[in-house]
Amino acid sequence: MNAEKLFEEAKKYIPGGVNSPLRAFKPYPFFVERGEGPYLFDTDGNKYIDYCLAYGPLILGHADPQVVNALNKQASLGTAYGAPTEGEITLAKEVVDRIPSAEKVRFVNSGGEATMSAIRVARGFTGRDKIVKFEGAYHGAHDYCLLKKGSTTEAIPDCKGIPLDTAKNTLIIPYNDEDALIKLIDEEGENIACIILEVIMGNIGFIPPKPGFLELLREITEENGIVLIFDEVITGFRLSRGGAQEYYNVTPDLTTLGKIVGGGLPMGAYCGKKEIMDVTAPVGPVYQAGTFSGNPMSVTAGINMLKQLDDNTYSNLDEKGTYLRESMEDIIEDLDLNIKPVGAGSMYQVYFNPNDVVNSNDAKASDAKRFLIYFKELLKEGIFIPPSQFECNFLSTTHTTEDLDQTIITIEKALKIAFEK
């Protein structure tokens, strides 16, 4: 069945025809039949070079043979037990070995569950209620963080269904704004349990921290007894072996993980200092539980993915990312366009914006209509990126030089069309 018919059928049974709003675009999304390496194949017979990669977890591409073989073996032994396995210890050791802040780790079922749990742990550890997040940052679709800035630093719900009372303990300031951070801590420091941030804001495109901003965060939270949480659901094991905290050499108190840690299967984790982690039940008073937490399928996939990610992997990915971004810069210069690609390692995006993007307000000032033309032209030519410039694009180890060269040629065509209209 082709995509149009499948979408009409899906809408009868699934709200909006999709199980995540990120997958919706007009007139209808394509429907995937299978993935292989850097490619997706849809039900209409089309092949795409994939830079969405399930929004980040598939750093080894689709259907990595080692991961698939391990999963087939594990599936024959059972998919869930409701009891501990040795694999959980193996994966926990991998996380602790790689992530600088990790002394202990608790596995959960998604990145959103990890951030929700880490915030609860921070509150339990400090005995304080208020949290700080940065404007435009996404930490999962739970009530703690699905909030936006009100008239001051106080948060208001970002969607229906969240009570105002839930929002009252969340404070929001712009990312990379040192003055706003210092002012907020001066006013509210003794009431704040934690500050949570995406080190690189990857759910608004790609916004890195300004030089010195992470160091200020680390200093100011330590001085005020505030738990610093790095949301590395995207950057964990993606930007480097030890994530963004290794890349920028700043260590938080807690770290949340998702995507890559599950090897392409549903999985999340939060990890950090022993004294903070040990407030989690059954050791401590902060309750957290889940039927599929640490399930053997996700654990197996995670182990077999992480064990393939060594220093050579990241060097190779850095080379590919640099080549793609520099080629895009050359195209943009040749076309005399006032836009700029951004990124690091195997992550990239291009804002249709003449100005530097340092926070979410800058990002939202970008030309969304022109970007959508660009997205659709790429898709038409067999290149799949997320259908929003407020998401990040990703490379995998399986993307070849030929894939990148084909992509660069297609990007030039798409940009020409986008800026003609």
Q: In what order do the strands lie in the sheet with 170-173?
A: 104-108, 268-272, 254-257, 227-231, 192-198, 130-134, 170-173
Determine the residue type at 127: G
Q: Do the strands 227-231 and 192-198 form a parallel or antiparallel pair, or are they unpaired?
A: parallel
Alpha carbon distance 192, 129 (integer Å): 7
CA distances from 270 to 104, 284, 304, 332 (A): 9, 15, 20, 40
pLDDT on residue 419: 94
CA atoms within 13 A on the CB side of 380: 10
pTM (predicted TM-score) = 0.96
Contact 360, 135 (CB under 8 A): yes
Of 316, 304, 314, 312, the C-alpha closest to 94 is: 304
Structural Rg of the chain based on CA atoms: 21
Q: Do the strands 254-257 and 268-272 form a parallel or antiparallel pair, or are they unpaired?
A: antiparallel
41, with CB counted inside 10 A (0-12, 13-18, 19+), is middle
pLDDT in tens, the chain (421 residues): 899 999 999 999 999 999 998 888 889 899 999 999 999 999 999 999 999 999 999 999 999 999 999 999 999 999 999 999 999 999 999 999 999 999 999 999 999 999 999 999 999 999 999 999 999 999 998 988 888 887 778 888 888 998 888 889 999 999 999 999 999 999 999 999 999 999 999 989 999 999 999 999 999 999 999 999 999 999 999 999 999 999 999 999 999 999 999 999 999 999 999 999 999 999 999 999 999 999 999 999 999 999 999 999 999 999 999 999 999 999 999 999 999 899 999 999 999 999 999 999 999 999 999 999 999 999 999 999 999 989 999 999 999 999 999 999 999 999 999 998 5
How many C-beta neighbours within 10 Å does residue 103 have?
A: 14
Q: Which of 42, 64, 231, 253 is catalytic?
A: 231
Alpha carbon distance 305, 397 (integer Å): 12
Verify whether residue 231 is a known catalytic residue. Answer: yes
Alpha carbon distance 295, 25 (integer Å): 33
Q: Do the strands 347-351 and 393-394 form a parallel or antiparallel pair, or are they unpaired?
A: antiparallel
Of 379, 298, 361, the C-alpha closest to 71 is: 298
Alpha carbon distance 94, 306 (integer Å): 8
C-alpha 221, offset from chain centre: 24
pLDDT on residue 78: 97
Alpha carbon distance 275, 281 (integer Å): 13
Q: Which of 51, 138, 175, 314 is catalytic?
A: 138
Residue 110 neighbours by CB under 8 Å, 6+ apart? 140, 258, 266, 267, 268
CA distances from 24 to 10, 15, 142 (A): 12, 11, 21
Give the DSSP per-residue string, 347-392.
EEEEES-SS---SHHHHHTS-HHHHHHHHHHHHHTTEE--SSTTS-
Give the helix/strand (H/E) hosting 340: strand 340-344
pLDDT on residue 421: 59
Q: Which of 133, 149, 259, 340 is catalytic?
A: 259
